Structures are given as structure tokens and as C-alpha cells.
Chains A and B, each alone.
Chain A
């Protein structure tokens, strides 16, 4: 039996981000905390978001609807920060504020030291929207040429760079096809291609896995891991916890427009747990963990909380010739935290003022 190694090396990637801006003072928490042995701990913040507020007016009576309230975080160079939250929690609003697509009511955003309202602050930023849609009268190749010109990529290296990103997102074959004939997954891929086209230092990806089949999701995940490996800073918005766990170094969980928690995933995750199904004989061994539960056909499910306990369990099974029918690895701390924060139903977004 192959046991999946519970190893996810975060030694180099690990990065601490600022804590929640609880005092709402307007200062930005840019000094990393947590693991001081982290080689990236002193890395400068690529983006700093401080005490960001945004509400919207809606309906004939122009009632005020809550968007986000006092959101603060910063992301250090080379790390992946995930914005987690239920639908309507404020993930996309936060991103829209960062990109100056909507105007915040208050707060401050600095992108690589520049004010977010300066178009030049977006020169080294790549963005994939939640539901990417592009000029459907263009082909994939023409679309990337259009963006390459906006990004001021030199004419002589333009074609090579476009070919490179098409290859990276697996769209080389479809580059000559008009976008109106693209499927949702293909649009997502070409969207990712335009986001990485300018070789940006900061990537902002709003639900990058949505619309993709399992193979596509895996490919995009691997691409993001690769981008992370080469030192790109990534802000990822998602409500899919396993995706975030696999990619992100740190996470900010939004609840009803407020940043409920900002955490380094390593701080959050004390270890793994394992669930194994054993096929027992007539007798129940005395060493069986007390949290076991009976299944059908004489099988029993046991849960252990560490690699050491797992090793003991496997040794005991081997010694007494008890077959291990199946074994699952769990790394559910983030999900637990997410569920804990979202235990209560979302509040009415209408603001009484």
C-alpha cells in the first residue's frame, strides 16, 4: 500500500501577512509575523490594502448595500494569498477596488509602492476576472496581440511571448479560432493567458478554477504552483477550500464584507489526520484506538492524528495480519476554520444609514 506522504514543503514559500486591522487606525500591517526563520519573512509587500471600505447604492430608493468594511491585508513578494469567503462575502469587491474598477469609500491601496489610482501601478499586474469575457470578434491569437500592445511588449518579442503563454495554458491548438466559438473552460484558459502575458510580478485571479473540468483544474493548479515557484506574487479569490489549501501560503477569510481572519496556512495547520478501514477477524484487538466505529462486513474505521500514530497502527496491523482496506489523508484545518467562521448565516447586506 502506498501511503501519501503528508509533506508540503512550506519552508521557502512560507510567508506571514499582516493581521486583521482590528483597530481601524488606517495603518497597514506590513511587517510579517509568525515564523521568523522564514527566508521570505523580510520580503517587501507587493500590495498593501489598508482599512478598505466600500458600499453600493441599489434600487430606486438608492438604499445602501454593504460591500466591504475595513478590509486590510498585505501580501509579500513571492507568496500566494487566498481570499476565501462565501458568495457575496466581498472577495470580488476587494479585487475591484484594488484594480480601481470601483471607487472605495475609504482606505488605502498601494501596489508596488504606487497609489492604485495611477494606471502605471497596474503595469506589472495580471488580472483574471471571475467570468472572463473578451472581444468575441477576435481569435485567441488576435486577442493576445491586442493585450500585448496594451502591455507595451516589444514588437520583436511579442510573437514568441504569445506562443509561450498559449503553450502554458494549453491553448496553442485553438489560437486561430474566434472567441465566440470558445467554451467556458477555453475562455478561462485564454483569460489566464492574457493575465500572465506581461510576465507580471503580481497576479490577481478571481476564481481561476471556475468553469474548468477536473483535468483543467489540475493543470491550472500546476501552472499556479509553477508561477509561485518562479517567484510570482499571487492573490487568489476562491470559495473552494481544497484548492486554496494546495496553493496558498496564507489566507484571508471574508465574512459579510469584513476580514474575519488573516492567517499563515502553516500556523493554521498543526498536522494531518488519517482515517483507515481495517478488516477485523472475530476478536477486536486491544490496541485499537478508542475512536473507532464499526462498518459493515466486520470492518472497522479508525482515525489517528499523526504520522507516528499511523506508523504504530500499520505496525500493529502488520504484526497481527489485519488487512488495511483503505486509508485516507485529511488536512481539514482550513475547512474547519472556514466553517467555524461561516457557522452563522450571512447577514442582510443592507446598511441602515
Chain B
């Protein structure tokens, strides 16, 4: 079983590599260089902070683009083209298949974040007085956030079209970063309905602000080990839940029409 999952993950990873997804890393490099060249003269004395801010935000945006664009069509593409039928005609379970695809895309994410992270750390190292190991914590949290978003897109891609899966995932990303604010705002309201709806939104969407310590790290706040552990557990809980539900939906899915 594990062998099948790893084989499918490796194949998915290879597909993204050959689809030239890694060209996006070059975009990241360009953004980093541009931020240094263009913004530095405007931010006297805060060059390192601006670079760190732009660099960490770019990693999230590029990772999000990859997850949404690749993840939303990953399963549907195989259904439409029919590649899935020869795979599932082998002794491969549908949950194994889905998990393999998820892990393959996550492997792509890890690789991209590793390359982008190295470029980022190198740039920070070259900027006088800007380098800090705190950045590693922020990059790790970004990886956790994108892993969770990967699970969200896999969840949607098993039941709706790629476009809807992309839109819904983007929605979860946006609401996930606002859920705490929505809840706080709801508690200030007089109506019971508003308070309950804001509570519902808070509990039905992952709180992605857990993974967003980018601003704090840039301004020198350290990332505690406890926070990293709790964030890891939180990410794993949501990811497992989403993949279990996605696997259940996918197992009941008709993979061929009439």
C-alpha cells in the first residue's frame, strides 16, 4: 500500500517538474532581486525588513498559485483523459490514489519552498544585519499552511469542477486568514444570529493566521517551539480530516460515464 502511494507521489512530482512548474521559482528570484533594486532606495534603513516581507509573502503567493492551479485539475485531468482507469485497474485503492496525488503535489511544494527558501536566506545573508534563523520558522509555517491548502484543494477537486475547486480554495484561503477577525467582529454584534454565524465560520474553516508569523518574524519576534508544535498538530488534524472526507467522496464516485 505504501509502495503504491509513493509511486503515485513520485509520478505526480515528475509531472509537475516536466510541466515546468519550477519556472515559478525563477519568478520568485526575480521578485527578490526587484524588491532589492527598486524598494531599497525608498526605504532607507529598513532594506532588510522590506526584503524579508516581500520574500516571505512571495513564497506564500507562488506556493498558493501552484497548489491551486495544479491541485484543482490534478484529479479531474486524469478522469477526463482516462489515465486514471489503467491505474485503478491495478491493485490500487482509490484512497491510495488520492493520497499519492496529494503527497506528490506536497513534494513539489517542499522542493519549491526549499529552493525559494535558500534563495531567500542567501539574499538576507547578503543584506547587512538582516539574516536570522527565525526566518526558518516562518518558512516552515508557510509550508504547513500550503500543505493544509493542498488538502483543501484535493477535497474540493473530488467533488466539483477544477474552476469551482480553485475558487472555493481561494475562498477558504481568504476566509481562513480572516476567520479570527470575523469571529471577533461577530461577538461585538447585538444579534444572536450574527454571533452564531461568525462562530460557525470560525469553526468550519481552518484558522490560517496560526501559520502567519511572517510579520512578527520580520520585526524580530522569535517563533516559539511550542507554537511550531501546535501549528504542526493543527495542520495535521485539518489535513487528515479533509483527506479522509475526500477519500470517502472519491471512493463513491463514478469514474466513467455511460
Contacts and interface: CB of A to CB of B under 8 A. Distances in A.
A121 B93 CA distance: 11
A233 to B, nearest CB: 15
B82 A132 contact: yes
Interface string B65-95: 0000000000000000111011111111100
Contact of B256 (A96, A119, A194): A96
B7 interface: yes
A151 B256 CA distance: 23
Contacts of A65: 258
B93 A56 contact: no
A119 B92 contact: yes
Contacts of A103: 252, 254
B14 A137 contact: yes
A135 B11 contact: yes
A125 interface: yes
B41 interface: no
B86 A129 contact: yes
Interface of A: 56, 58, 65, 67, 88, 92-93, 96, 99-103, 119-123, 125-127, 129, 131-135, 137-138, 146-147, 149-152, 191, 194, 198, 204, 349
Nearest to B18: A137
B93 A129 contact: no
B5 to A, nearest CB: 10
10 contacts: A56-B257, A99-B89, A100-B88, A101-B89, A102-B256, A119-B93, A127-B85, A129-B82, A194-B86, A204-B89
Contact of B7 (A99, A133, A150, A204): A150
Contacts of B14: 137-138
A150 B88 CA distance: 10
B226 interface: no
Interface in B3-31: 3-4, 7-8, 11, 14-15, 18-19
Contacts of A101: 85, 88-89, 254-256
A137 B81 CA distance: 13
A70 B34 CA distance: 68
A151 to B, nearest CB: 6
A132 B19 contact: no
Nearest to A120: B91
B258 A131 contact: no
B92 A150 contact: yes
A149 B90 CA distance: 10
Interface in B233-258: 252, 254-258
A194 B85 CA distance: 12
Given A65-B258, A137-B19, A122 B82 contact: no
Nearest to B88: A101
A151 B90 contact: yes
A122 B258 contact: no
Given A93-B256, A99-B89, A204-B89, 15 more contacts: A56-B257, A67-B258, A92-B256, A96-B256, A99-B88, A119-B91, A119-B92, A120-B91, A127-B89, A129-B82, A135-B15, A137-B15, A147-B86, A150-B8, A151-B91
